[in-house]
Structure 1
Amino acid sequence: LQDNDPIAIERLNLMNMAKLSIKGLIESALNLGRTLDSDYAPLQQFFVVMEHCLKHGLKTKKTFLGQNKSFWGALELVEKLTPEAGEITASVKDLPGLKTPLGRGRAWLRLALMQKKLSDYMKTIINRKDLLSEFYEPNALMMEEEGAVIAGLLVGLNVIDANLCMKGEDLDSQVGVIDFSMYLKDGGHSSKSAEGDGQITAILDQKNYVEELNRHLSASVNNLQAKVDALEKSNTKLTEELAVANNRIITLQEDAEIAKEESSYQLETRKALRSDSAADGQALGETRKQLKEETLLRLDVERELEVQIGMKQEMELSMKMLEKDICEKQDALVELRQQLEDLRAINQQLSHKSQSADAGSKQKSEVIVRLEEKINQMAGTVKQLETRCKQAERERDLALEANRLFKQDFGDKIESLQTEVEFIQEQELRKERERRSEHHLRQSTTPRRERRHQEEVPKVSVCVCTQQILRQNEKHIYSSNLNNLVSLFCSTPDVFVFFQKQCKNCSGVFCESCVSNELPLPSSILPETVCTTCYSHLLQQYASTPT
């Protein structure tokens, strides 16, 4: 395949489209499981693709009306190469609504598919490239290897049963456009209700069955009507023949009476002539001859009269039988018309059911679209909640790490403070001992209470300082732990102001903005307030469980 050869690219594209069309038609027909009709969309697209393949590289022929470009001439070659195809060609030529070669070619393709001979006929004409060169260019699809590949792919269509009615179709003016949307995969809107599809398929099957039965009944009614017309014509013809025979019998009877009168007259003349027989001997011989002839003629007339009487009796018997048969056919025709009316009523009911089913399927598709939109919205909210949850986890990890570092620093500070307090106590005690030793002699008269008070003052001051430091550190630890605990649940920076509600699912305390969602919990029927994290988890759980 050359990169700069557009005709080769066209051939390859047409071959790939034929592959997709044949594959899709076979798969859809096997899944459908019934006889295909003319309204089946994949079948119509298959004929459009085949028409494009047969039109590729056609030679233009000049006629009186202008330039003509049709593949009907190439299809007519099949009749010369395969005598079995003569029936299809004759049927196509006998169709009354076809006026153009394009319409005849389309009808030929449909009849060949119904006979399951399309692949054989295509192989036959593709093998005779010497004859095809009259209609196609040398680089056309039918003259290259792609044509043989398409003919081989057509063998798979023999598993399909098709019943195509071409009487009402306008094959001359149809526009053959390939619908590429049927071969493009779209997974967003391909989910449909299996129950609705099954009901629609059953209704379509019933509709096709009723239409087929209606066609058979109309054909039988037409045949019976034609037979009745033929019988009426034969009846009128027989009545006319009977009238003619009666007239002839009357004329023969009149001729017989005339012959009798003539014979009696001749006998009388013969008796009169016998007296003078010597004179009229020659005339007597002539009269005898005439008498014999008249008697023979009379016998012939009598025999013909008997034959006519027998024919009249047979005609009367056949007329009675025909009248009886006509009465029976009229009764059958009345019954068939009644059945046809019943079938039309059933067909109308089925059409109403199919319309209601179509309306139901449209409503279901709209509901599905709305649900998909809601699912997309929920997916967006879930993604946002997941990002917020990840951010909260990161903040929690940072807070835990900061708490750990703070505890470590605070423990070191407490140890250092304790050592400092002990050191200060020792210094104070040492100083106090020195004071007491210095002032022992000077203040020997001081009461014991005063000395005790002087001894307890530095101890109390040291203890008070230590307790104040410990209380400040405990407050700092509690506030930091509380901030870390709240930061795990709530993302509001000023959380202590709005810290009011509790989640009914995880029992966590949150602000009003984080506990604004409501959902029915498994333990309660009525909707309860839950946090954003529990809301996203419950939505995922409800979406995964089948309804």
Structure 2
Amino acid sequence: MELQESAEGTAPGEAPACGSPVFLYPGARRRPQQRRDERQRLPSDSEPLQLLPSPPPADAHPNYLMANERMNLMNMAKLSIKGLIESALNLGRTLDSDYAPLQQFFVVMEHCLKHGLKGKKTFLGQNKSFWGPLELVEKLVPEASEITASVKDLPGLKTPVGRGRAWLRLALMQKKLSEYMKALINRKDLLSEFYEANALMMEEEGAIIAGLLVGLNVIDANFCMKGEDLDSQVGVIDFSMYLKDGSISKCNEGDGQITAILDQKNYVEELNRQLSATVNNLQAKVDALEKSNTKLTEELAVANNRIITLQEEMERVKEESSYILESNRKGNKQDRTADGQSLSEARKHLKEETQLRLDVEKELEVQIGMRQEMELAMKMLEKDVCEKQDALVALRQQVDDLRTLKHDLALKLQSADIAGKQKSDLNSRLEEKTNQMAATIKQLEQRLRQAERDRQSMQEDNRLFKQEFGDKIASLQLEVEQLSKQRSQIELELKLERNKRSPIHCSTPERKRTPASRRENQEKQQNGFKPETVSSDRPQNAEEESVTVGKGDPVLLCKAPSCVEDVQDQLSKTAVPQMCQLCKAESSLIQRKILCKNCGGIFCGDCSANELPLPSSINPERVCNPCHKQLIQQYSTSPA
């Protein structure tokens, strides 16, 4: 990342004015040399992100870099808070932990709290954590004790950085983050223990950021702190969310998604390179620590050998001193004075050796402590390397997921196109069927209208027919009544005639006939003839036929009296017993006959039991079965 600004001359006693920063987001086009310079300047995870401008002039103020960093962080905080409020208002003022602008806001706040932070010196370097200043809020504002206790009780947090991140999230959920920051910034005497004099929290930029945080009280944030890993998150600011170019026109949605995926890919690659560089640096540190560890073990062995030699020499000096003391006791006074001088020298040498031994023992203890600290640092470095590798694997997995997602989207697009074509074909076929059905419906409607017109015309014809033949029907009904009266009179006469002739039939000399004549009569009956005695009853059969015709079918007499006379003449001519022309059964000889009005044949009652209206009559007439079938077939095939 690089910030470019115009270098302007400033007064020697004042801080120079900061120029407008230009941020390069991940995925932007850069020159190869610029990329190599940026890779060398990528910050480590243990230090806050340094937003450095172009090199200051030689006569610039000594606090020039810190002032630029404060200004850049304040601008980033303004952009982050403004974008967060706008997006929250558009989305309904409720945000979750997965919302990207909210995550970037916490990253910016983390960098603001880390700016100018004094670090604790350890074997690996300075360890900077902003959890210490946040713990002071509990003393300044009693309401913050609940947040601090909740953060300390969370089981998944193991580092101070994770506790500080959790504290920021809980304060935002409580909508008192601005109040806590104002209370903390107002106590600069307490902050001086944690921050340098020109840090953001110690200057007026901190008060401005605290005032900007008041606008976040309109946002409702929901966080799930238990399942979130806040210790191992990488705090990198994504500047692509805040960059705008008004000269570029808006592309369609598909191009926007592709560019977003490419930007994310470039960002992941850049972060991957940064993590690779960090891993290489940590590996180099591990190698250096291993070398120093071997060197310290060698020095420890040398020190142990030296201690052993010093102990042997001290024992030898003790023996010499004891020998000198014994010799001094035996010698004279002169020898004693000389021996006293040598003894004092020996004692002095002994003190020096004992002091040297104590120094060596202290150095040995220091070396042992350093070795233990190195082992602890090695373990921490190994853990850090493992975490970086896990993050690297996760980022690679995200890249693979993005590729698979892109492939799946392409397949879904193809399947959607195929489904759209199929639906369009189906719609066209349905439209054709609809048109055919509409044409059929029109034809049926035309036929229905034609049938309705025909029905109306037939009704009109029927009405006209009734009007035309109404008088004739009335006159014919009168004739029928007269004929019925005549029929009753004839029936009375026939009854009287039968009563008169009944004794004659009884006195017929039938009994005197010979058996031969009886056999002849039986043969004639078998051949279909009546016996001779029937001939005497012919007038009676003729009368019965006429009566049967009058009784069974009164319509036969409905035309005129002349019709009845014709029928009677025909029956009188055919008074001889006849068989049914259809069934030709012997029993039909003694049954009454019916004259078919269609064909004129004589049939029994079973073979002429149907009635149909004939063209020659209005009322239905008795017809034989063959004529009935023929007339039914004609009526069914005739047009409506």
Please indicate, yes or no, whether the TM-score normalized by the shorter chain is above 0.5: no
State the TM bucket, normalised to the shorter chain: 0.3 to 0.5
TM-score normalised by length of structure 2 = 0.30
Q: Which has the higher contact order (CA 8 A, sep 6+)?
A: 1
Greater Cα radius of gyration, structure 1 or 2: 2
